[in-house]
Amino acid sequence: MKKYILAWDEGTTSTRAILFDREAKIMAISQKEFSQFYPEPGWVEQDPMEIWSSQIGVATEVLARANARPEDIAAIGITNQRETTLVWDKKTGQPVYNAIGWQCRRTAPLCTQLEKDGYKDLLQEKTGLILDPYFSATKIRWILDHIEDGQGRAERGELLFGTIDTWLIWRLTDGEVHVTDYSNASRTMLLNIHDLDWDREILDILHIPRVMLPEVRPSSEVYGHSHTRFFGTPIPIGAAVGDQQGALFGQACFTKGDVKSTYGTGAFILLNTGDQAVHSKNGLVTTLAWGLEPGKVTYALEGSIFVSGASIKWLRDQVRMIDSAEDTEYIATKVNSTDGLYVVPAFTGLGAPYWDPNARGLIIGITLGTTKKHIIRATLEAQAYLTNDVLESMIDDAQIAINEIKVDGGASRNNFMMQSLADISRVRVERPQTLESSALGAAFLAGLAVDFWSGLDELEKMWDLDRVYDCRMHEKNRNRKLRNWHQAVKRARNWAEDYEPWEE
């Protein structure tokens, strides 16, 4: 009898393998960081072969740590950093260029040109996405333009494109399977999220040959089996899902109106909108959450906050106010309030719902009585304000009442920050015992594909609550703090209007 599901969690800076048992408990974890390359300012690249070797390495290691055999594994589920773009030679299996990371801004000029040419609304209507270098489509175009005979080789079917999930599945099956799932496909800016297929008009606009694109399949399905040279026995590959959609599934947010927020380097808030694609008027993106069978999908609204845990890292590494991230919770409680001080952590601009790349970080309200305790507390409270801004946009777009939000990610361990979120949002905050929600979501989806678990009802029962946070703040105080917060954001955004870069 099969004992485990093996989740591959390929992140932005590291790869992990996590082994789950039938009760969805973690049996072992293995992790390895991989290199990041920055050839020019704003450019981000990764080595596809290093990603593959690190992932197959941690998968082998985690089995050893758990004293498990490959024959004990019912299925492999993959969750991955999204939008990162790879192109490789179909015959040799070798990448033709480094993977271009999701953070990479090199295609900003092409996005500007597409907007000037009048394609912005068309792209958003068909794909649910905002025209931005963030997504994969313009990265594909850049690669084809910057390798020898890129367009010709692509048109002749000699080149293949994939996001990270596609690359890992292709390598794991020794080149036999070239697929992606609904959730990852919806982040390429090439998929029509209404008819669930690659959009011919967008492909023509960007001159991307369809023959290089993977087949789009459900998020929970046996795509193929691992080649025997990797584990000695074939293991079903039963799931692929983007990391944030994986976290939504891992948090058992199966019902329309369910919300999760993941606090890592940035923060990502997703709202399950059921079988309806809700197009945002408030700076959110519409995405496919998952599909459990062909042609039937669940949609979500997503809001991305660029800086979350990174602001705590800034407190530690740049301004050296703390020795470790864990210190922030204790220090923040040593003062009763911020004394009217606000921190807007717009270190790389502001994401949803503002989408203002010119905004800059701001600390306002400093007095002679201000201490580092006030700044640390205000930095944590900023995450509550930013999340609330996204939640209010979601409520307005979807016309759905949000009564609770499930949280995960490393920063969700900070009890002060989670209580602040409950106070500011007036929403019940629930933190699970297992914070590895993306990997758990991939495991759940893979387990469903091979009948390791019976269905959503069984999965929902395995979600274990760790702690609940309810609003404790008086409404008058909350409203005053929100007014001040929005004034601070306004000043952070207006900063760019008259700012001149410093020159010696």
List phi, psi (to 5°) of 217: -130, 165
**Is residue 321 very low, low, confident or very high in pLDDT (cuts 50, 70, 90)?**
confident
More confident residue, 103 or 208: 208
- pLDDT classification of 497: cutoffs 50, 70, 90: low
Overall CATH class of domain 4-244 = alpha beta
Q: Quick one: pLDDT at residue 323?
A: 85
| Continuous segment of H or E residues that includes residue 158 | none
pLDDT tens column, 478-490: 999 999 999 999 9
pLDDT score, position 420: 96
- Alpha carbon distance 148, 101 (integer Å): 21
* Token digits of residue 382: 């900023």
Q: Evaluate whether 96 touches 88 at the Cβ level (below 8 Å).
A: yes
Closest among 417, 196, 201, 148 to 309, alpha carbons compared: 417
* Rounded Cα–Cα distance for residues 212 and 159 (Å): 6
Amino acid at 143: I
DSSP letter at 98 equals: P
How much is the pLDDT for 499? Answer: 60
The answer to whether 378 touches 338, Cβ cutoff 8 Å, is: yes
pLDDT averaged over every residue in the chain = 93
User: What pLDDT score was predicted for residue 502?
Assistant: 55
Element (H, E) at 188: none
Predicted pLDDT at 297: 96
What percent of the chain is modeled with pLDDT above 70? 98
The percentage of the chain sitting over the pLDDT mark of 90, rounded to a whole number, equals: 79
Task: Locate all alpha helices (DSSP H) within 353-455, ordered by sequence.
Answer: 372-398, 415-425, 437-449
Phi, psi of 293 (to 5 degrees): -155, 160
Q: Looking at the predicted structure, is the pLDDT value of residue 71 above 70?
A: yes
Report how far residue 493's alpha carbon sits from residue 362's, in angstroms, rounded to the nearest whole number.
Answer: 10
Instruction: Report residue 310's pLDDT band, with 50, 70 and 90 as the boundaries.
Output: confident
Q: Which residues contact 258 (CB under 8 A, 6 or more apart)?
A: 248, 251, 252, 271, 272, 406
Q: Are 415 and 407 in contact (CB under 8 A)?
A: no
What is the per-residue pLDDT across 273-287, written as a single tens digit (0 to 9) for each?
A: 999 999 999 989 999
Quote the pLDDT of residue 35. 87
Closest CA to 33 of 58, 62, 64, 7: 58
142-189 pLDDT per residue, tens:
999 999 999 999 999 999 999 999 999 999 999 999 999 999 999 999
182-239: per-residue pLDDT in tens?
Answer: 999 999 999 999 999 999 999 999 999 999 999 999 999 999 999 999 999 999 999 9
Q: Which of 39, 1, 50, 4 is nearest to 24 (CA)?
A: 4
pLDDT at residue number 90: 96
**Using CA of residue 165, residue 171, residue 172, residue 174, what is the dihedral sign?**
positive
The per-residue pLDDT for 262 is 93
What 3-state DSSP class applies to 247? helix
**302 C-beta neighbours (distance < 10 Å), count:** 23
For residue 100, pLDDT over 70 is answered with yes
Confidence check: pLDDT of 398 > 90:
yes
82, two tokens: 């999204």
Distance CA 445, CA 180 (A): 14
Q: How many CA atoms lie within 13 A of 146 on its CB side?
A: 13
Residue 183 three-state SS: helix
User: Contact at 8 Å (CB) between 19 and 67?
Assistant: no
Q: With the C-alpha atoms ordered 61, 65, 66, 71, is the resulting torsion angle positive or negative?
A: positive
Residue 69 confidence (pLDDT): 94
What is the reported pLDDT for 307? Answer: 78
- Is the pLDDT at 495 greater than 80? The verdict is no
Q: Identify the pLDDT of residue 172.
A: 97
The region that residue 232 occupies, defined by phi over 0 for left and psi between -120 and 50 for alpha, beta otherwise, is left
Poorest-pLDDT segment among 95-99, 310-314, 375-379, 498-502: 498-502
Residue 503 in this model has a pLDDT that exceeds 80: no
DSSP category for residue 232: S
Angle at 244 between CA 48 and CA 287, to 5 degrees: 100
Residue 320 has pLDDT above 80, yes or no: yes
Would you say 302 and 336 are in contact if contact means Cβ atoms under 8 Å apart?
no
CA–CA separation, 331 vs 315, rounded Å?
A: 12
Which has the minimum average pLDDT: 101-110, 209-218, 223-232, 253-262? 101-110
Quick check: 357 pLDDT over 80?
no
For 215, the enclosing helix (H) or strand (E) is: strand 215-217
